[in-house]
């Protein structure tokens, strides 16, 4: 399994592409594809046929996966995109930290 610097629930900022500068919450991560689905980012139109669940059908706006290399985690303390570092705590657990302010990113 591939390593990815982003986890589900993180707030991220888009670095490049049509949605550059947008911020959103990570809904799902696909580590093997190195992609993630972010709320309100990389929207695409989907033509939905009428089904039992959705009898009217229609054109939907859905989020599609975006490469994780285009995303940067937003630090909760300094509220800016930050590089992610790793640190071992006194109790032996490993956590992700913001490289700018040393704030712990993991909940």
Residues 91 and 44 in one domain: no
47 and 24 share a domain? yes
Query: With b meaning 16 or more CB within 10 Å and e meaning fewer, what string describes 14-34?
Result: beeeebeeebbebeebeeeee
**Do 70 and 14 meet the contact criterion of CB atoms below 8 Å apart?**
yes
Do 27 and 52 lie in a common domain? yes
**pTM score, whole prediction:** 0.84
Are 12 and 39 in the same domain?
yes
Write the CATH number for 1. 2.30.30.30
Kindly report the backbone phi and psi dihedral angles of residue 69, in degrees, each rounded to the nearest multiple of 5, phi listed first.
-70, -20
In this predicted model, what pLDDT tens digit does every residue of 68-104 receive, in sequence order? 999 999 998 889 999 999 999 889 899 999 998 888 9
Q: Are residues 14 and 61 in the same domain?
A: yes
Same domain, 100 and 48: no
Residue 35 is part of which domain span?
1-74
């Amino acid at each position: 399994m591939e390593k990815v610097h982003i986890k589900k629930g993180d707030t991220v900022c888009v670095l490049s592409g049509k949605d550059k500068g947008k911020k959103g919450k990570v809904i799902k991560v696909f580590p093997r594809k190195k992609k993630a689905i972010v709320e309100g980012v990389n929207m695409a139109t989907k033509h939905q046929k009428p089904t039992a669940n959705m009898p009217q059908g229609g054109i939907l706006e859905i989020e599609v996966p975006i490469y994780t290399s285009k995303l940067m985690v937003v630090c909760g303390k300094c509220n800016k995109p930050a590089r992610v570092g790793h640190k071992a705590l006194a109790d032996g657990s490993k956590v992700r930290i913001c490289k700018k302010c040393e704030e712990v990113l993991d909940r």
